[in-house]
Chains A and B, each alone.
Chain A
Amino acid sequence: MSRLPVRKTYKLFIGGDFPRSESGRTYEAQGQNVARASRKDVRDAVRAARGALPKWRGMTAYNRGQVLYRIAEMMEARSEAFAELSSGRREVETAVDRWVWYAGWADKYAQVLGTSNPVAAPYFNFTIPEPTGVVGVVAPEEPAIDALVARLAPVIVGGNVSVVLASETAPLAAIELAEALATADVPGGVVNILTGYKAELAPWLAGHMDVNAIDVAGADGEIPELERLAAENVKRVVRGKADRQSPYEIAAFLELKTVWHPIGV
């Protein structure tokens, strides 16, 4: 008699844990029952993200870079599983290489995006980029893993924490990524991943008062409504594209802080 395989239960990823949706709901996608997150799961994920922010943004840039590199290592190790859940090996390799590319930016973007400002008075004045805070990411529907990585990596390399709404039609790769993140030294809460109906969840994320920015890359037709909701707390709205890779993708989720100090004896 052949052995019956042990199937995986696909759950959410919040605060480093893998809970079911508090609503008890699931939906079927890619032949599996997947957790169907609720408004309260969004709330819990935002809370977990906010709690993780001080530690993540407080880590040295070198350290954050190593954590991102470690994510690449963990993805590479699971590349067969990712290949099955996406368009294939090529997509997975692209995604892994993206993590490596962004890992290298961790201790460099501040040098490219910051300035020293020659003010016309005896003051030392400089401008540095800082994380904007909690970032909502509405992931594109496809490519299942690479688009998610393309939108997530620039967010977290800048010291932000995130709440991701995964691809609705192909959510399994996102949960696979959660499992890689959980073993990649990413502090719990830095990345939170929700599966479910984006049209139901995205408005809660866009209107949440403790979310500082939102990337509507995977939101399609709902964008005007999400942008309206975002205005409630002057959220930064980024219309991300899945195929972009540059330090300016990092810059889109950064604030600029200018500091003045007198020069004297």
Chain B
Amino acid sequence: MTELERKQDSSPVPAGWDYAPAPESRDIVTLEERYGLYIGGELVEPKSGEYFPTLNPASEDVLAEVAQAGPEDVDLAVQAAREAYENGWSSVSPSERAKYLFRIARILQERSREFAVLESLNGGKPIKESRDVDLPLSAAHFFYYAGWADKLEYAFPNRNPTPIGVAGQIIPWNFPLLMLSWKIAPALAAGNTVVLKPAETTPLTALLFADVLRQAELPPGVVNIVTGDGRAGAELVKHPGTDKIAFTGSTEVGKAIQRELAGSGRRLTLELGGKAANIIFDDAALDQAVEGIINGIYFNQGHVCCAGSRLLVQESIYEPVIQKLKRRLTTLRVGDPLDKNTDVGAINSKQQLEKIQELVKSGEEEGAEVYQPPCRLPEKGYWFVPTVFTNVAQSYRIAQEEIFGPVLSVLTFRTPDEAVEKANNTPYGLSAGVWTEKGSRILSMANRLEAGVVWANTYNRFDPTSPFGGYKESGFGREGGLHGLEPYLDLDESEVRG
């Protein structure tokens, strides 16, 4: 380190600064007391008769009641999707289909503030993330796939692309509207109809999306939304009326779905868990790398399947990196998701908070050293202080299991070979990060890391044109880009020869 850097690193940290509150108004959001299921173009009461409260995780206040879809409800949704597919949507010309998707993209842009506020209210994520990441990307996703709808034969030459039929889609709670967009946009562009099951804890932006579909005048039944807990998802998976299941969530549930579909001939794509290595070499631009580490693991409270949850630091720079990291950690602002200064919001649910607490406890018990910056947490709601573990062995649970929270495990390495071996030493293979100023090393590492996405000198970047998805137990199939269309199309397998 240069003398100047040393001085900077010993300067007082700005943690003591007081920020004036800068809350985003929630007036833009109007909530119903109770929401039904979106089936056949209308919000209908569930046949199950069951409702459950959906909360603001930052305050534990009930925002609204939503329906718990039962077997009969899921069946009605699948029927509605089938009818829409056969009696209308499949005969809409591809160019007209594209225009519906362009409309949806535009309406999402127009109503983006409303969606962003609701996303933060229901999910706990900081408004600056829902405003600057989730919403722009959701709209961009629809805009991107809209353009594909009438160009599919150019994406898959000689393969006669045709829609599959009815797609059952199950999405997680970490990026509710964005995951909805990742699922619905390519499915509709390819000419399918959809039954979507939002996550149990974050149904509200999906239900607001139903209003976007009304404004876009999308034919009824093309998109159906059934809310509920895992039981509703299981019903959708089991339902023989869906031709395809797309699931984003845990590896454990993903495996159960793969087993359930075995032998059925129904198509499947899985986007599952991760335990990504973020690898910092000694020639990296350290201040940028530290920002990348922070963005890698504390973005969205670490509720990110591709989070850089294992930091691999080259031994020779271990001390300065840890020092800079701890210093940066003290400047993270944890608190009200609707405050525009907030960096780390609320943990999505009580259940997730307990899971994080349990894994952090295991880390301490197994012998890792824990660091948490001084932090005042709100009294109500679900919160977890951004945490760094050092002295972590590869065998520790915090180095093997997906925590899905703001918890970083730090390991070290000496050589590129050791970094690759440690990075790949996990059943997962979703993503990885590499920080070095040496171009040839970036390409060599990118080549050797078993991961579907490699971020070099950056982390947690997403774009509708960029395919996303995992190797190994992180799942199969891609979302985004040209490759993201394939899971929603029937393609002539190949030519028959010989």
Contacts and interface: CB of A to CB of B under 8 A. Distances in A.
Interface of A: 94, 97-98, 115, 117-121, 123, 125, 127, 132, 146, 150, 212, 223-225, 227-228, 230-234, 236, 241, 243-249, 255-262
Contact of A256 (B427, B452, B497): B452
B107 interface: no
B270 A248 contact: no
Interface in B241-261: 251, 254-256, 258-259, 261
B493 interface: yes
A231 B454 contact: no
List the 5 shortest-distance A-B pairs measured between CB atoms, nearest first: A224-B263, A246-B494, A227-B262, A231-B258, A119-B463
Contact of A117 (B264, B446, B467, B494): B467
A120 B140 contact: yes
Contacts of B63: none
B159 interface: yes
B493 A117 contact: no
A244 B457 contact: no
A260 B498 contact: no
B152 interface: no
A231 B456 CA distance: 31
29 contacts: A98-B498, A115-B467, A119-B461, A119-B466, A125-B465, A127-B481, A132-B471, A146-B498, A150-B498, A224-B263, A224-B264, A227-B261, A233-B472, A234-B251, A234-B254, A234-B272, A234-B475, A241-B493, A244-B494, A244-B496, A245-B494, A245-B498, A247-B494, A256-B478, A259-B446, A259-B454, A259-B456, A261-B456, A262-B458
Nearest to B476: A236
B457 A262 contact: yes
B453 interface: yes
Greatest chain B CB density within 10 A among A117, A146, A245, A257 is at A257
B478 A120 contact: no
Contact of B452 (A125, A241, A257): A257
Nearest to A213: B476
B73 interface: no
Interface in B432-465: 442, 446, 451-458, 461, 463, 465
Contact of A234 (B159, B442, B476): B476
A210 B100 CA distance: 45
Nearest to A212: B472
Contacts of B463: 117, 119-121, 125
Given A224-B263, A228-B262, A256-B469, 12 more contacts: A115-B467, A115-B481, A120-B465, A125-B466, A227-B263, A231-B259, A234-B270, A241-B493, A244-B494, A256-B478, A257-B446, A259-B446
Contacts of A127: 466-467, 481, 483
A243 B496 contact: yes
Nearest to A101: B497
B468 interface: yes
B258 A230 contact: yes
Given A120-B140, A245-B498, A257-B452, A231 B255 contact: yes
A31 B497 CA distance: 31
B482 A115 contact: yes
Contacts of A245: 494-498
A244 B159 CA distance: 13
Interface of B: 140, 159, 251, 254-256, 258-259, 261-264, 270, 272, 427, 442, 446, 451-458, 461, 463, 465-469, 471-476, 478, 481-483, 491, 493-498
A255 B458 CA distance: 22
B498 A243 contact: yes
Contacts of B481: 115, 117, 127, 258
A243 to B, nearest CB: 5
Contacts of B478: 256
A228 B468 contact: no
A238 B455 CA distance: 29
B251 to A, nearest CB: 7
A233 B427 contact: yes
Contact of B458 (A228, A256, A260): A260
Contacts of A257: 446, 451-454, 471
Given A243-B498, A245-B497, A249-B494, A260 B482 contact: no
A136 to B, nearest CB: 15
Contacts of A260: 453-456, 458, 461, 466
Given A233-B472, A234-B475, A243-B497, A121 B466 contact: no
Contacts of A119: 461, 463, 465-466
A115 B148 CA distance: 15
Given A115-B483, A120-B140, A234 B454 contact: no
Contacts of A262: 457-458
B351 to A, nearest CB: 24
Nearest to A112: B157
Nearest to B263: A224
B263 A228 contact: yes
Contacts of B255: 231-232, 234
A91 B494 CA distance: 20
A255 B495 CA distance: 22
Given A117-B466, A234-B476, A255 B455 contact: no
A98 B495 CA distance: 13
A152 B446 CA distance: 28
A258 B496 contact: no
B467 A256 contact: yes
